[in-house]
Chains A and B, each alone.
Chain A
Amino acid sequence: MTVLMQAHDVVRHYKVGGGLFGTPGTVKAVDGVSFSLLAGKTLAVVGESGCGKSTLARVATLLEPPTAGELTIDGAATAGVDADTRRKLRLSVQMVFQNPYGSLNPRKTVGATLMEPLEINQRGDAAARAQAAREMMAQVGLRDDQWGRYPHMFSGGQRQRIAIARALMLNPRVVVADEPVSALDVSIQAQVLNLLMDLQERLGLAYLFISHDLSVVRHIADEVMVMYCGRPVEQAAKADLFAQPRHPYTRMLLAATPSVDPARRQLQVSIKGELPSPLNPPPGCAFASRCAHATARCTAERPDPRPLDGHMVACHHAESIG
């Protein structure tokens, strides 16, 4: 299967603060993430707010260069290339944003919104662009008579369809979706998830699907990466991860997700504390302060991801607690 995007030990740090007399700090927003995106497959990135999911999305869409590490798109390196090449590379990765109320221009009609990416990249003449936009509307289930309507005339689900259509106008190979359904109601969410899966099947897209909702991830993903404080703590095929989570944080997330199935409500864990600040992460395992299994080794030595039964787990005690 074709690897469309590969990240190797990608790091993104931000310098912050300092001011006149203060000491500047470094926020380690993403700190050593590796993954491969395959054509027609979905990699879901899960984690709480502040864990670096969205920064990862910004790096993957080439909006920001990684501070260190390597990112290749379709085998081509993205670091150290000239602006023109980078622009070309960018075309193959497009993004769908979380909030369709904020990500669409309220003063542009659906048609104009969909044609804009083509205009910017000087694809075809006006007639061809309109033709392509109309075809895309049909693909995502928008009616032809909605061409001249403005975003405010649509419901949230319809708007997300427009946003998805816009992302697909340049025929990307990879789509980065940052919480695409979390602003939507359940019945609408189902429609958008179905659409995303249909499009993936039809166009062979690779999805980097960012979400905090494990039940959605469980439905759409092929592979899941759980992030905590900028670092991946567990990465595995969906079935393995949900059947046998290896990292205590993954277990905590699964236990905290409310379930409509009374049988699955047995898993009772008490949850304490909040995410540590990424500005000043603890020296050992970032999760140690909230972990029931933490030992002296956890607070002193940072665990690196290592393979275990087909999972990649960053925990010193993964064997004994799994």
Chain B
Amino acid sequence: MALLEIRNLAVEFATARGRFRAVDGVDMTVEAGEVLGVVGESGSGKSVSMLAAMGLIGWPGKVTADVLRFDGTDLLSVSPRQRRKLVGKDMAMIFQEPMTSLNPCYPVGWQIAEALRAHHAVPKERVQHRVIELLEQVGIPDPSRRAGNFPHQMSGGMNQRVMIAMAIACKPRLLIADEPTTALDVTIQKQILDLLVDLQRQHGMGLVLITHDMGVVAETAGRVQVMYAGQMVEQQATDGLFNTPRHPYTAALLDALPERAIGRHRLPTIPGTVPGIDDRPAGCLFSPRCKFATARCAAEAPVPQAGVRCHTPLDDAGAPR
């Protein structure tokens, strides 16, 4: 059985200008011991879909799905009490921007201990010991002293490690990491990613890595889902995605990477911008920016087929079929 199973997830927000679908028809399966990368530009619904899975979307957001299951537990009908037992223990999340996610008023050690106490993960007298063990595990030097530090006394990379320590405190079976390295320098990013992959292998965790950095996904994930304007447009094994992207959006996104354009003077760009709340096209959401779009694309929304949401997916040579 899959660890996390999502079918047809939608998240809507009631706004002054009407209802806005931030996430639309997302399917996702995460197996234990697997690293799934979720990529997309800002506003593509990566974070919101995962927050919905964690049950962290509050009013005025509305979550609907055909299936939303964690290890056999239906997350749509679960009682708040049961959900609290699950979230933070068996499924945990590392949030973006540690500087704003940590509480500035408490030492970081106390904040990690909070998770352990809430879930009675270890006996009371062992809590402090476990906190130091966790800080050591995430590579913080001098952990017993650092446990007494406040977030402002630590660097961004250190705080991100505290966030990771907090998330893995109860040995979760599913870890969702939302842009865990975005605000960090490349050398620190490398350390954090190595750490996450190590932990994932050690505990056989399922890891969902949300990022906008194609390089990070290429180096860590085994399978990748690409999101655009709230929809999942493509899903493939990592090598396949980078060698033979099937969706025109994925292909255009990869082409726009400076790394892939070495020696070329101008980078290929994607014209236009991601559609906002007012200018969603009727058919395929990417059609106004797609160089292969046909009349059918503008009129009729494609449904995902073999992991690609496109009427004319690209073949191995990058031409529409």
Residues of chain A whose beta carbon lies under 8 Å from any beta carbon of chain B: 48-49, 155-157, 185-191, 193-194, 197, 212, 214-216, 218-220, 252-253, 255-262, 265, 270-272, 274
Contacts and interface: CB of A to CB of B under 8 A. Distances in A.
Given A157-B273, A187-B253, A215-B215, A261 B259 contact: yes
B218 A258 contact: yes
Given A194-B267, A260-B254, A186 B185 contact: no
A191 B41 CA distance: 14
B42 interface: yes
Contact of A260 (B157, B187, B191, B215): B215
B185 A49 contact: yes
A191 B242 CA distance: 21
B136 interface: no
B267 to A, nearest CB: 4
Nearest to B214: A260
A190 B269 contact: yes
B257 A215 contact: yes
A215 B266 contact: no
B187 A215 contact: no
Interface of B: 41-42, 155-158, 185-191, 193-194, 212-216, 218-219, 239, 242, 252-254, 256-262, 265-270, 273
Contacts of A270: 194
Contact of B257 (A186, A257, A271): A186
A188 B252 CA distance: 12
Given A218-B258, A260-B257, A155 B273 contact: yes
A190 B215 contact: no
Contact of A187 (B41, B185, B213): B41
Contacts of A185: 41-42, 212
Contacts of A258: 186, 189-190, 193, 213, 215-216, 218-219
Given A157-B273, A187-B252, A187-B256, A256 B42 contact: no
B31 to A, nearest CB: 23
19 contacts: A48-B185, A48-B188, A185-B42, A185-B212, A187-B253, A190-B256, A190-B269, A191-B269, A193-B258, A194-B267, A215-B215, A220-B258, A258-B186, A260-B257, A265-B218, A265-B219, A270-B194, A274-B155, A274-B188
B267 A193 contact: yes
B259 A260 contact: yes
Contact of B214 (A49, A186, A262): A186
B218 A260 contact: yes
Contacts of B193: 258
Contacts of A188: 41, 273
Given A48-B185, A259-B215, A274-B157, A187 B270 contact: yes
B34 to A, nearest CB: 19
Contacts of B190: 255-256, 258, 271
B285 to A, nearest CB: 14
Contacts of B185: 48-49, 212
